[in-house]
Amino acid sequence: MSVKSVLGLLVLLSCTVFWAKEAAQPQQQPVPPAGTAPAAVAQATHDFKVSAEDAARKNPVRITDVSVSRGKKIFLSQCAMCHGDDGAGKGDLAEEMKLSPPDLTNPSTLKPLSDGALFAIISAGNTVMPAQGSRMKDYHKWCVVDYLRSLGGAAPQKATPEEIEQDSPTSTVAPVAPRP
């Protein structure tokens, strides 16, 4: 074999190894300008179908320290993986799945939605948000609504002894009584 052939094979082999290493490295995506969403991030659809009847539904659970505390516990176990522990839409699972949940800490996010609409959204979910439907008691869904309202700035009131009893796991009190 001639020297030129050996050199040619070495160059070809070196290029092949270089290209293989280059292809194995993850490609960096360009960083979008500040304040814009990256194009690769899938935007969660926030267009929920809420009937007029559901939107008009009144929250029977008064927003109290107890209902907000209960709602927060449920939120942290059922919603925070996408919406983030603080509700700002930066949960680990959402980032991993390239979703962009709404910032629930921004009062303007929830302001146009009635409590009934939030209850319906939590119940029905959509293509990117699982439905709670019968997985969660209505009382607990209303507590999540109260917690969401507190994220937006609503100040909870002090719970009455009856409301504290109603929230107890051993309570025999009906879980959802009409709000005064």
Sequential DSSP letters for 96-115: HTT-----TTSHHHHTTS-H
- Global pTM reads 0.69
Residue 43 CA to residue 128 CA, distance in Å, equals 10
- Look at residue 75 and tell me if it is in a domain: yes
Q: What is the pLDDT of residue 171?
A: 52
- Angle ∠(89,126,68) on CA atoms, nearest 5: 50
List per-block mean pLDDT (blocks of 10 residues) for the chain, which spans 180 residues: 56 48 48 45 60 94 94 95 93 90 91 94 90 92 96 91 79 49
Supply the pLDDT for residue 10. Answer: 52
CA 115 to CA 140: how far, in whole Å?
Answer: 13
Q: What span, in angstroms and rounded, lies between the C-alpha atoms of 163 and 104?
A: 26
Q: How many domains does the chain have?
A: 1
For residue 80, what pLDDT is reported?
94
Q: What is the pLDDT of residue 71?
A: 94
* Residue 173 within a domain: no
* pLDDT (0 to 100) of residue 124: 92
**Which range marks the domain in which residue 126 is found?**
52-167
CA distance 53 to 117: 9
Q: Is 39 a member of any domain? A: no
* pLDDT at residue number 49: 84
What pLDDT does 17 receive? 46
For 95, the 3-state DSSP assignment is helix
Residues with Cβ within 8 Å of residue 173, at least 6 apart in sequence:
162, 165, 166
Crossing angle of the two packed helices 138-151 and 65-78, in degrees rounded to 10: 100
- Is 160 a domain residue? yes
Q: What is the CATH number of the domain that holds 65?
A: 1.10.760.10
pLDDT at residue number 4: 60
In a domain, 116, yes or no: yes
SS3 85: coil
Q: Is 35 helix (H, G, I), strand (E, B) or coil?
A: coil
Considering the domain boundaries, does residue 136 fall inside one? yes
Q: Which pLDDT score is estimated for 62?
A: 93
